[in-house]
Chains A and B, each alone.
Chain A
Amino acid sequence: MKTGSVALALALAMTSAHAADKVKVGFLSTLSGPGGALGVDIEDGFKLALKSTGNKLGGLPAELVVVDDQQNPDVAKQATDRLLKRDKVDLMTGIVFSNIMLAVGPTIFDAKTFYVSANAGPSQYAGAQCNPYFFNVAWQNDNLHEAVGKHVAEKGFKNVALVAPNYPAGKDALTGFKRYYNGKVADEIYTKLGQLDYAAELAQIRATKPDAVYIFLPGGMGINFIKQYAAAGLAKDVPLFGPGFSADEDVIRAAGDAMNGMYNASQWAHDLPNAENRKFVADFEREYGRLPSLYASQGYDAALLIDAAVRKVKGNLDDKEALRAALASADFKSVRGAFKFNRNHYPVQDYYLRVVEKDAKGRVTNRTVGTIFKDHADAYANECAMK
Chain B
Amino acid sequence: MSAALAAEQALNGLQLGLMLFLMAAGLTLVLGIMDTINLAHGSLYMTGAYLAAATYAAAGSFLVAVAAAVVGTALIGALLEMTVLRALYRRDHLSQVLATFAIILIANEAIRMTWGPQPLALPTPRALSGPVELLPGFLYPAWRLVLIAAGLGVAVLLFILVTYTRAGMRVRAGASNREMAEVMGVDVKRLFTVVFAIGAALCALAGALLGPLLAVQVGMGESILILAFVVVVIGGIGSIRGAFVGALLVGIVDTAGRALLVPALASIAIYVLMAAVLFWKPQGLFPARG
Contacts and interface: CB of A to CB of B under 8 A. Distances in A.
Is A in direct contact with B (CB under 8 Å) within the complex? yes
B16 A197 contact: yes
Contacts of B118: 37, 40, 250, 253-254
Nearest to A203: B8
A196 B214 contact: yes
Q: Which of B119, B124, B219 has the most A CB atoms < 10 Å from its CB?
A: B119
Contacts of A250: 118-119
Nearest to A167: B263
B215 A233 contact: no
Interface string A11-47: 0000000000000000000011110110010000000
B214 A197 contact: yes
B219 A33 contact: yes
A254 B112 contact: no
A233 B139 contact: yes
A231 interface: yes
B184 interface: no
B121 A196 contact: no
B16 A254 contact: no
Contacts of B119: 34, 37, 220, 223, 250, 253-254
A162 B117 CA distance: 29
B73 interface: no
Contacts of B130: 230-231, 233, 236
Contacts of B8: 203, 206
A92 B143 CA distance: 46
Interface in B218-268: 218-220, 223-224, 255-256, 258-259, 263-264, 266-267
A63 interface: no
Interface stretch (A186-194, A322-330, A370-378): A186-194
A1 interface: no
B217 A254 contact: yes
For the residues of A in contact with B, the DSSP-based class is helix
B41 interface: no
A199 B142 CA distance: 13
A210 interface: no
Given A233-B141, A254-B217, A31 B212 contact: no
A331 interface: no
B159 to A, nearest CB: 25
A29 to B, nearest CB: 12
B131 interface: yes
B178 interface: no
Contacts of B283: none
Interface string B85-107: 00000000000000000000000
Contacts of B139: 206, 232-233
A71 to B, nearest CB: 10
Nearest to A230: B129
Given A199-B16, A227-B212, A232-B141, A190 B263 contact: yes
A201 interface: yes
Interface string A207-233: 100000000000110011001101111
Given A33-B219, A34-B218, A200 B141 contact: no
B172 interface: no
15 contacts: A192-B267, A197-B12, A199-B12, A200-B12, A203-B5, A220-B215, A223-B215, A227-B213, A230-B124, A231-B141, A231-B143, A233-B130, A233-B131, A253-B119, A256-B121
Closest 8 CB pairs of A and B: A233-B131, A199-B12, A254-B119, A223-B215, A166-B263, A36-B117, A220-B215, A190-B263
Interface of A: 31-34, 36-37, 40, 166, 190-194, 196-197, 199-201, 203-204, 206-207, 219-220, 223-224, 227-228, 230-233, 236, 250, 253-258
Given A32-B112, A203-B259, 15 more contacts: A37-B119, A192-B258, A193-B267, A197-B16, A197-B213, A199-B144, A200-B12, A201-B258, A203-B9, A219-B215, A223-B119, A233-B131, A254-B121, A256-B121, A258-B129
Interface of B: 1-2, 4-5, 8-9, 12-13, 15-16, 112, 117-121, 123-124, 129-131, 139, 141-144, 212-220, 223-224, 255-256, 258-259, 263-264, 266-267
